[in-house]
Amino acid sequence: MRLIYAGGDRLYIPVENIDLLSKYGQQASDAALDRLGGAAWQAKKARIKGKIKEMADELIKIAAKRQISKAEKLEAPAGIFDEFCARFNLLKRMINLMLLMM
């Protein structure tokens, strides 16, 4: 796979890594091309890396809060869990009957 950047720069991607590519914009005319390794490209890459780091930091904070927080244990009203389990037994029987009819 060959990617063409502004100025005719080319980047070759092995076909087995094609899943790393994604469409940018609605039409080819929507995408402004940068020079591969140029200042505009480096600035965009740095900005995206910064945003990813911010998101990762936020996710780490959320995970830490979840780990240390205590919550009240929720209990299902008596009998509801048994009714729930009974539905699966009924479903299992229905599936078995359908298989026998095939």
Give me the pLDDT at residue 30, please.
Answer: 66
| Amino acid 25: pLDDT | 65
Q: CA-CA distance, 14 to 96, in Å (whole number)?
A: 49
Segments making up each domain of the chain, as ranges:
1-36, 38-69
Residues 9 and 34: their CA atoms lie apart, in Å, by: 9
Q: Nearest 5°: phi and psi at 79?
A: 90, -25
In this predicted structure, what is the pLDDT of residue 61?
97
Q: How far apart are CA 23 and CA 19, in angstroms?
A: 11
Structural element, H or E, at residue 4: strand 2-4
For the chain, residues with pLDDT lower than 50 are none
Residue 24: partners with Cβ closer than 8 Å, 6 or more residues away: 30, 31
Identify the three-state secondary structure at position 10. Answer: strand
Q: What is the pLDDT of residue 73?
A: 86
